[in-house]
Amino acid sequence: MSTRRSLLRAAGVAGVVALAGCTAIANDDSDPLPDGGSDGDGPGGSQPSDLEHPPDATHIARITGQDDAPDLPIRPRVSLADPYVTQGSPPVVRVDVENPTDDPVVVGEYRGVVFQYVGSDDRTYVFLPHSERSTEGDPDRTRPEYDVEGDGCWRLTSGIAVTQEYGTVEVPANGTLTAYVGLYASEDAGRCTPLGERRFETVYNYFEDGVPGGEDTTRNDRWGFSLSVEEL
């Protein structure tokens, strides 16, 4: 893994997103077309049912659309691992970045490609890590102790300390990079759980020679999805 580091303090979600390497947030006027289905089905979960939810659940998240695969040798996909806002956890999304080719693929920025520290288009939400990144199967899930207003209110009370670095990750031939991310409201969101649909987007940089370098060996494309949050 190749990195360049300096530790900074992020001031709010906009700062977090700006610090996360080449991760990018942008509004996209194109329709969020799904790749292989618009219902969020896939590894790690499917669209939730309103009829079955934890007794302390207050809100439900749904993936409402995913872009077509980027013009790169990878296929990102998201699915809901835990769709509900509860006292014990915010909604959790599983991110899978598949490499369908017979050769290893090197991509970056290594956090942004699995939507770690990526914010919504209006900066009201941000995805924070709920696992490590893994290319060797399903990673162990955790819920780190981020500074939030309280259990059941997953709004950040301060900025997130993020190292300003650029890292790459190698996805094995015919393998998958997987990570889990939790959905948190920003400290300026105005409420614990903002309602409605939002878009999340990142940039995938593909390095043909495996090392960040000149323009001749680097290709990139944007990919994203839409997610809605509703009251139960």
- Say how far apart CA 190 and CA 134 lie, in whole Å: 34
Structure tokens at 60: 């439900």
In eight-state DSSP terms, residue 114 is G
7 - beta bridge partners?
163
Which residue in the block uniquely carries the two structure tokens 């007794």?
55
CB atoms within 10 A of CB 161: 11
**Where are the domains positioned within the chain?**
7-28+38-231
Integer angstrom CA distances of residue 83 from 67, 79, 201: 20, 9, 19
Per-residue pLDDT of the chain (232 residues; tens, 9 = 90+): 433 333 332 323 333 433 333 333 333 333 333 333 334 444 444 566 555 789 999 999 999 999 999 999 999 999 999 999 999 999 999 999 999 999 999 999 999 999 999 999 999 999 999 999 999 999 999 989 999 999 899 999 988 877 888 899 999 999 999 999 999 999 989 999 999 999 999 999 999 876 666 555 689 999 999 999 999 9
Do the Cβ atoms of 44 and 130 come closer than 8 Å? no
Query: Is the separation of the CB atoms in 89 and 143 below 8 Å?
Result: yes
CB distance 57 to 152 below 8 Å: no
Cα separation, 190 vs 193, whole angstroms: 9
Cis omega before residue 109 (within 30°)?
yes
Element (H, E) at 170: strand 168-171
